[in-house]
Chain A
Amino acid sequence: MKINSVKIISLLFFVLSVFYLYTAHQIQVFAFDEGAPFNAKTFPIYLGYAGMFFSGLKIVLPDQKPIEVDSTYLEFKKTILLVLTMIIYGATILKVGFFLSTSLFLVLSYYFLGERRWKYIIIFSFPFVAIFMYLLHGVLAVYLRDPLLKYIGIMG
């Protein structure tokens, strides 16, 4: 058996299924439901077994179409930077407010992806978000939480 990335992913899925099955068995059902033909843990238990079965087969059987991704062509740095930016965006959107956090997220994302034309970076961040917010909040009356703009007095 040749070990490759797909086999490793399948193994991780197998472990996940075992953990899922264990957690399914831990689900507390009502006493009168314990011996019932179907209760809250019946379906998850079958799912756990199904996950183990399919991932187990994938690990054991030889690959039909082996896939190896050449990591030298993958842009890890940009992707990780973008994911981190998203996490920071997610963490600040409620506290800092929609306008500032979204605009900064867009500026940073454009920059990390290699954009250096500052004129476009600015146009497609702050004014773009302002228009988007106006359409959503002003026209469609969709609530947008923005403590900063509320503090300044721009948003009601």
Chain B
Amino acid sequence: MIEGILIGLKTALSFQNLMMVMIGCFAGTIIGMLPGLGPMTAIALMIPITYGFEPATGLILMAGVYYGAVFGGSTSSILINAPGVPGTVATSFDGYPMAQQGKAGKALAIAAYSSFAGGTISAIFLLIAAPSLSKVSLSFRSPDYFGLMILGLTAVAAFSSKGNFLKAMMMCVLGLMLASVGQDTLSDIPRFTFNTMNLSDGISFVLVVMATFAMSEALTIIIKGNDPAKAAKQISLTDLGSIKVNKEETKQMAATIPRSSILGFIIGVLPGAGATIASFLAYGMERNFVKSEEKEKFGKGSVQGLSAPETANNAACSGSFVPLLTLGIPGSGTTAVMLGALLGFGIQPGPRLYETNPDIFWSVIMSMYIGMVVLLILNLPLIPYIARILAVPRTFLIPMILFFSVTGIYLMSFNNFDIFLMIGIAVVATILRLYDFPMPPLILAFVLGGLMEENLRRSLLISDGSWSFLWDRPLTICIMITILLIVIWQIYNSYKSIKK
């Protein structure tokens, strides 16, 4: 493991990669800060650029963007009460009241220190957990992978969109349907191409991500008439106050950070749970842990109320890399986007990645940590300046997002058809968003579609067409029972809420 860490450090600390982490963190912070745009959009916008680099460099850039965007989301939560991502909603509960009290700088500093500490602790967990899990997962067979992929999709549908299980499952199926367009990987038989050459290679992953996130998010902002610039006027973005944290506050944070980190990491590892659930759970848990007089301060600017969700969401971000790097199965929408990018580089994440591409495996882990250090030493002092971006009017912001989306696809294919297809998918995605159909399950399913079909193919061929492979091995049975429990739990919850 030490050798691996050194390989990772060597790759991550090369001048080019170090620059990429810095640029990624900076760009991610800016994009993540803009209300409505989260890490998935930030990463999606970066994918066309990363294809020009070595795989390790491209992934390091994306990891930097990811952390930057999460940090940026916290900034907009604290300053304008408009969380850039669901994972930072809980941050606004105490961050925004603190900013209203004239302590915006302090709130941002607490968020940054908590994120850093949560990220550090979870990076250590990741260092320990990832190689061990890689070794264990070598014993996984096709039926187990097929089961795990269904589990991932079901869990994302169940947890990422509370109360919208059926809608999320519909989005999963839509994602799988889109993934099935193009030539069959084994027989080269065209499927759903409608005799169009443009569809014979299938629909590009970048196209779907850009359409369902960057473009449809921009269109949703316009159609809903939300003006981030109007909201930005609520708190002065030029005078954020001191960023110093006193002894008492440090003591409070020291108590909160370890427990929120552990909780966040565990939640992050679970497929589908991710940063949003981690931050809410950490907030609720912290409220139960503190003394009754501190409990009263929750929702009114409590240091622990701000520190807990911030620690947990960053810890969950690291945790979500565990299933991606070790099993090749993303546990969240963001890691699904990263998986798509990895596949674009010709790298198949999974237990073998640890052996076949140790430089990539370890450099991604190490650069995630370096990214957090960069965020702390570079972004925190620059926050007063970066925050002014929140005042950029949407009249300029939206066309820029659309421009980057169209350009991204244009540079990849030089084909009008792809641009029109992207616009079409974006329009449909915008309508679906208006009615609360979640997009992360669609992306996750789109990325997993090919792998899922491949593993089902192998499983069915091995068992000679019988579905008994689902209960032949104890591991597969455990996975299938977990899926059943999630589905039954969701149906029970729906029944309960309808009855109310």
A-side residues, CB < 8 A to B, are 5-6, 9-10, 13, 17, 20, 23-24, 27-30, 33, 36-44, 47, 50-51, 54-55, 57-58, 61-62, 64-65, 67, 69, 73-76, 78-79, 82-83, 86-87, 89-91, 93-94, 98, 102, 105-106, 109-110, 113-115, 120, 124, 136, 140, 142, 144-145
Q: Is the interface of B mostly helix, strand, loop or mixed?
A: helix
Interfacial chain A residues near B456, Cβ < 8 Å: 38, 42-43
Residue B289, interface by CB 8 Å: no
Q: Give Cα distance in the complex from A57 to B436, angstroms.
A: 17
Q: Is the CB of B222 within 8 A of A142?
A: no
Q: A51-B177, A65-B164 are in contact. Are A113 and B394 (CB under 8 A)?
A: yes
Contact partner of A76 (CB less than 8 A), chosen from B52, B223, B416, is: B223
Within the complex, what minimum Cβ distance (angstroms) separates A146 from chain B?
11
Q: Give Cα distance in the complex from A50 to B441, angstroms.
A: 15
Q: Is the CB of B436 within 8 A of A67?
A: yes
Q: Is the CB of B427 within 8 A of A83?
A: yes
Q: Is the CB of B434 within 8 A of A38?
A: no
Closest 5 A/B residue pairs (Cβ): A37-B465, A109-B399, A90-B419, A115-B395, A40-B184
Q: Is the interface of A mostly helix, strand, loop or mixed?
A: helix
Interfacial chain A residues near B414, Cβ < 8 Å: 94, 145
Q: Is the CB of A38 within 8 A of B224?
A: no
Contact partner of A110 (CB less than 8 A), chosen from B167, B177, B399, B436, is: B399
Smallest Cβ-Cβ distance to A13: which chain B residue: B170
Q: Is the CB of B420 within 8 A of A113?
A: no
Residue B219, interface by CB 8 Å: yes
Interfacial chain A residues near B187, Cβ < 8 Å: 29-30, 33, 39-40
Within the complex, what minimum Cβ distance (angstroms) separates B343 from chain A?
18
Q: Give Cα distance in the complex from A47 to B191, angstroms.
A: 13
Q: Is the CB of B225 within 8 A of A75?
A: yes
Q: A37-B460, A64-B497 are in contact. Are A142 and B411 (CB under 8 A)?
A: yes
Residue B393, interface by CB 8 Å: yes
Q: Give Cα distance in the complex from A10 to B171, angstroms.
A: 11
Partner-contacting stretch, out of B12-20, B23-31, B317-325, B400-408? B400-408
Interfacial chain B residues near A113, Cβ < 8 Å: 222, 394-395, 398-399
Q: Is the CB of B396 within 8 A of A120?
A: yes
Q: Give Cα distance in the complex from A89 to B410, angstroms.
A: 11
Q: Is the CB of B399 within 8 A of A102?
A: no
Within the complex, what minimum Cβ distance (angstroms) separates B201 from chain A?
16
Interfacial chain B residues near A61, Cβ < 8 Å: 166, 494, 498
6 contacts between A and B (CB under 8 A): A37-B460, A38-B456, A38-B457, A54-B173, A64-B494, A113-B395
Q: A38-B456, A61-B494 are in contact. Are A83 and B423 (CB under 8 A)?
A: yes
